[in-house]
Amino acid sequence: MYLRCLMFTDPLKWSKAFPWAEYWYNTSYNISAAMTPFKALYGRDLSMLIQRRIAVTATIHLYKAQQTMKHQADKKRRHFEFQLGEHVLVKLQPYQQSSVALRKYQKFGSRNFGSLLTVCSL
């Protein structure tokens, strides 16, 4: 049953999923035995080494995915440095900016707050 659940999308590659099905079976809790099959056979719980490896692998993949998303988002961003005394145009974010200009119909509200003089830089 475990192998069938794992191989639902691609049944021809069952040999690659067999270790995962075995792990799934050995770590699943059996109600009648009140323990996992691994604990019933060996008298102890399955080593945490496998779970640590999975956690480390997941962390690495998550970090790579975050870096890819950051790289794609940074393609659309530009870095600006403003000097003191320059005029800058402040653009309002529609449907997000509620503290500056509250309108009855935000869709028809102004898109820009206006030109402001820079006083300090962050």
pLDDT of residue 11: 72
Q: Where are the alpha helices (DSSP H) in the chain?
A: 2-6, 14-27, 37-42, 48-74
Give the pTM: 0.38
CA distance 4 to 120: 64
Tokens of 49: 């080494």
**Mean pLDDT value across residues 15-21:** 77
Higher pLDDT, 3 or 27: 27
Beta strand 112-117 pairing with 87-91: antiparallel
**Mean pLDDT value across residues 19-41:** 82
Query: For all residues of the chain together, what is the average pLDDT?
Result: 76
pLDDT of residue 92: 64
**Mean pLDDT value across residues 68-96:** 80
The string over 69-107, giving b where at least 16 C-beta atoms fall within 10 Å of a residue's C-beta and e elsewhere, is eeeeeeeeeeeeeeeeeeeeeeebeeeeeeeeeeeeeee
Tokens of 64: 């790579």
